[in-house]
């Protein structure tokens, strides 16, 4: 039985990846390692928590002794590494948290894997899940390719870029078998409401202002989270060792167009008059160093691995809103307590 360590499996994307692997591969033992920060939530995984091929490990990737210990104890065959501090705004407030988890945490995992696997790297794999933000900000109509030079602009993307470099350096230096993927903006069920879509969903529902940074002209390329999880499955099983795969939906939206669409669908779902939710739009001080546009060229993964997005954006948005509407307890739980303080700090003075 193959033993796979998935890090960050209690978070947004990680929980979808864990579920997919646990349900699809009964011959894998899936270990989900997560610190359960504000973004980690075991309620994301209640449907699979008692499956015999699933084990949860609570721990911090920054703690090298702990990481070395679990590698020695469980003898993992592969790692799919998603654990990270993931929110750009928080990285602007607390950059060092991002250095510790995203850089030091990744190097701790690489060291532990190297130690365990160094006698024989065959059939081993360190899969590092990264972001399109490492490529920087586009100011023309081009796309990010796997060969686009790195040019990170925020503390978050600088920390992710650094971790990507370490992963590739371990391949070059120690022959660690690796694969890296860089994905665009995800949306879907279980996303923590600090990110644009769930935050705006929650504010619309509660009739609170919708804080649009700057003029709302920034462009993001949106992909349904389950399509990202399927892409990770494909890269893990069919990707070529040492390669990088860009993952994206060819689905670009300016923030303001996206927000207006969200408002329109929410008006319909909540039985409000059309145009009602749009009145909540409030333009606020821009994010510092706000990247203008991200756009992924996903042709490599599409042609080489046969992956493609399964959902049109409008359909995915509808499904996402339906999930949040049907899971009020989930969103109520994650927006109580420390979320209120975060929200005040982030938005009150804007």
Smallest distance, Å, CB 272 to ligand NAD?
A: 28
Rounded CA-CA distance 286/336 in Å is 26
- Which C-beta is closer to ligand NAD: that of 12 or that of 117? 12
Q: C-beta of 113: minimal distance to ligand NAD in Å?
A: 15
**Residue 179 binding target from ligand NAD, ligand DAU, none, CB below 5 to 8 Å by type:** none
Beta carbon of residue 109, minimum distance to ligand DAU (angstroms, whole number)? 18
In terms of CB distance, is 101 or 131 closer to ligand DAU? Answer: 131
Chain residues that interact with ligand DAU, rule: CB under 6 A: 86-88, 131-133, 184-185, 195-196, 199, 211-213, 218, 220, 255, 287, 294
**Catalytic residue status for 141:** no
Cα separation of 260 and 308, whole Å? 27
Cβ proximity to ligand DAU: between 7 and 185 the closer is: 185
State which residue has the least CB distance to ligand DAU.
Answer: 131
Q: Which residues sit at the interface with ligand NAD, rule CB under 6 A?
A: 8, 10-14, 34-37, 39-40, 60-62, 82-86, 101, 105, 129, 131, 160, 183, 185-186, 192
53 vs 91, beta carbon nearer ligand DAU: 91
Closer residue to ligand DAU, CB minimum distance, 184 or 251? 184
294 binds, among ligand DAU, ligand NAD, none (CB under 5 to 8 A by kind): ligand DAU
| Least separation in angstroms between CB 195 and ligand NAD | 7
60 as an active site residue: the answer is: no
Q: Does 267 qualify as catalytic in the annotation?
A: no
> Which among 48, 61, 158 has a CA at the least distance from the CA of 104?
61
Q: How far is the CB of 90 from ligand DAU (least distance, A)?
A: 9
Smallest separation, CB 132 to ligand DAU (Å): 5
Residue showing tokens 């992963």: 167
Query: What, of ligand NAD, ligand DAU, none, does residue 83 touch, CB below 5 to 8 Å by kind?
Result: ligand NAD
CB of 290 to ligand DAU, least distance (A): 6
Cβ–Cβ under 8 Å, residues 229 and 195? no
Residue 39 binds which of ligand DAU, ligand NAD, none (CB < 5-8 A, kind-dependent): ligand NAD
Choosing from 132, 227, 252, 291, which is the catalytic residue? Answer: 132
Pick one of ligand DAU, ligand NAD, none as the site partner of residue 218 (Cβ within 5 to 8 A by kind).
Answer: ligand DAU
Residue 63 CB neighbour total at 10 angstroms: 14
Whole-angstrom distance, CA of residue 40 vs CA of residue 197: 18
From the list ligand NAD, ligand DAU, none, which binds 305 (C-beta under 5 to 8 Å, kind-based)?
Answer: none
Nearer to ligand NAD, 29 or 194 (CB): 194
Residue in 54, 156, 201, 245 annotated catalytic: 156
Lookup result for tokens 């070059």: 172
Catalytic residue among 60, 133, 233, 234: 133
How far apart (Å, rounded) are the C-alpha atoms in residues 57 and 35?
A: 8
Question: How many Å apart are CA 296 and CA 184, to the nearest integer?
Answer: 7
Alpha-carbon separation of residue 206 from 209, 237, 331 (angstroms): 9, 43, 12
Catalytic annotation, residues: 132-133, 156
């Amino acid at each position: 039985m193959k033993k796979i360590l998935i890090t960050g499996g209690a978070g947004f994307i990680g929980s979808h990846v864990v579920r997919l692997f646990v349900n699809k591969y009964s011959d894998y033992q899936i270990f989900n390692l997560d610190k359960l920060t504000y973004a980690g939530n075991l309620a994301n995984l209640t449907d699979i928590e008692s499956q015999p091929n699933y084990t949860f490990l609570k721990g911090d990737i920054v703690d090298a002794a702990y990481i070395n210990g679990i590698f020695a104890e469980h003898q993992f065959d592969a790692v799919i590494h998603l654990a990270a501090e993931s929110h750009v705004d928080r990285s602007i407030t607390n950059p060092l948290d991002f250095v510790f988890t995203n850089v030091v945490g990744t190097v701790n995992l690489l060291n532990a894997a190297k130690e365990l696997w160094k006698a024989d790297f065959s059939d081993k794999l360190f899969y590092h899940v990264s972001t399109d933000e490492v490529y920087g900000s586009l100011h023309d109509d081009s796309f990010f390719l796997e060969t686009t030079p790195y040019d990170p602009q925020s503390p978050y993307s600088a920390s992710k870029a650094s971790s990507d470099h370490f992963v590739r350096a371990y391949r070059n230096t120690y022959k660690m078998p690796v694969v890296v993927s860089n994905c665009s903006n995800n949306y879907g069920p279980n996303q923590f409401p600090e990110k644009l879509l769930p935050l705006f969903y929650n504010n619309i529902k509660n009739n609170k202002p919708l804080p649009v940074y700057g003029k709302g002209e920034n462009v993001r390329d949106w992909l349904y989270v389950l399509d990202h999880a399927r892409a990770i499955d494909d890269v893990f099983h069919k990707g070529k060792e040492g390669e990088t795969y860009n993952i994206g939906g060819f689905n670009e939206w300016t923030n303001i167009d996206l927000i207006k669409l969200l408002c329109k669908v929410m008006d319909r779902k909540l039985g409000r008059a059309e145009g009602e939710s749009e009145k909540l739009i409030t333009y606020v001080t821009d994010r510092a160093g706000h990247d203008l546009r991200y756009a992924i060229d996903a042709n490599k993964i599409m042609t080489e691995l046969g992956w493609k997005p399964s959902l049109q954006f409008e359909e995915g948005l509808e499904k996402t809103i339906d999930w949040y509407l049907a899971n009020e307890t989930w969103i109520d739980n994650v927006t109580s307590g420390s979320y209120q303080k975060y929200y005040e700090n982030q938005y009150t003075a804007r």
